Amino acid sequence: MLYFADMNQVEHIGIAVKNLEASIAMYTLLLGVKPYKTEEVASEGVITVFFDAGNTKIELLSATRPDSPIAKFIEKRGEGIHHLAFGVDNIKKKIEEKKEAGFELINTEPKDGADNKLIAFLHPKSTGNILVEMCEEKK
């Protein structure tokens, strides 16, 4: 069972897509808003596009190279929900707390992510097959 009551609300839902332009058009129509930000995260081999969907953002993730984590995800599982991201107030503290609680970490230190965030991931093996991202607004 996932237990994240010590983290803030869902910050965003990450969705892996093959065709970024078609997905932008579909989500614009679906949500009734245009994306507010497009950003490349070269270190991850991804272009991200963010929509403000009220209390939660939608992040479209499109691979920029065939060896990126998103390209590998789509190859293995197809398009769809890639991760759930929870906002946290102190990401370094949360990484330690989750480690002490027995969660398997992908990142033991926060790293730069899209949308002005520091991020760290928990491995799906320890979170019920859901990739969980913790993110903190950079100060």
What's the pLDDT score for residue 55? 87
What's the pLDDT score for residue 102? 95
CB 30 within 8 A of CB 109: no
Q: pLDDT at residue 62 above 50? A: yes
How would residue 7 be classed by pLDDT, with cut points 50, 70 and 90? confident
Q: What is the mean pLDDT of residues 60-84?
A: 97
Q: pLDDT at residue 1 above 50? A: no
How would residue 6 be classed by pLDDT, with cut points 50, 70 and 90? low
Exposed e or buried b for every residue in 17-53, given b needs 16+ CB within 10 A? beebeebbeebeeeeeeebeeeeebeebbbbbbbbee
